[in-house]
Amino acid sequence: MEVDIQLAKNCNADDIFLRFYRWQPYCISLGANQNIEIIDDKKCSLDNIDVVKRPTGGRAILHAEELTYSVVFPINLNYTPSVIYREINFALMKGLEFYNNQLKDAELENLQPDFSSVYKTVEGNTCFATAAKSELKYSGRKLIGSAQRKLGSVVLQHGSILCGIFHKKITEYLKISPDEKLKLKEELDNKTIEIESILQAKVDYTELEKSLVKGFEFHFNTTTQQNF
């Protein structure tokens, strides 16, 4: 994610940067304003789970069977931060459709929760227990979580695209009571969904990434220059 920060610092007015990556070892990332004390660091160390702070907001994510995206996007009269947030999710939605037509039924959340209240609950410790406005859902359940930060004249946006079910194990690494762990697990079971659960097939990460790039090109009517 340090690379994302550097790209944001060096982004020109006519540049847009799009990156995809996975995590090895698996890692829990916390939102920029989230208290790291919520994490059971001993349990994370025992299970070889890294812990980092994101430069963007939001709440904890277990980066495991998922694909992380990042976008650096200049702010201008046509693209305010809220518009950028929405349009990136539209591009992701199109990319999912390119990957598998069954995913065309993904849709954007229309309502914005009262996060000041949500963050006071056990569900407020994790990103995927609550969907924000314009985040992507499938059959009413959250599929992609996203967070954004304004850095000067650009926006940096991160997101996690759920592919498998391992992300739900985040409850094991939080310093909360057994009853709260159980409640949060039920929330994640009921409110999240993954590509593999929808398609009943393993994700081809290479093809998924190609499809998402194609979705951005289609939605923003542009071409990408890929660097590896």
Catalytic site residue from 11, 27, 44, 127 = 127
* DSSP secondary structure letter of residue 109: -
User: Which residues, 6+ apart, have CB-to-CB distance to 47 below 8 Å?
Assistant: 173
Closest CA relative to residue 40, chosen from 86, 112, 49: 49
Active site (annotated) includes residue 127: yes
CA dihedral 57, 60, 63, 65 (to 10 degrees): -120
Q: E strands of 105-199, at which residues?
A: 107-108, 136-138, 141-151, 154-162
Q: In what order do the strands lie in the sheet with 50-53?
A: 50-53, 27-30, 61-63
| Alpha helix ranges (H) inside the chain | 2-9, 41-46, 81-99, 115-118, 178-191, 195-199, 205-220
Helix (H) or strand (E) holding 228: none
Catalytic residue numbers read 127
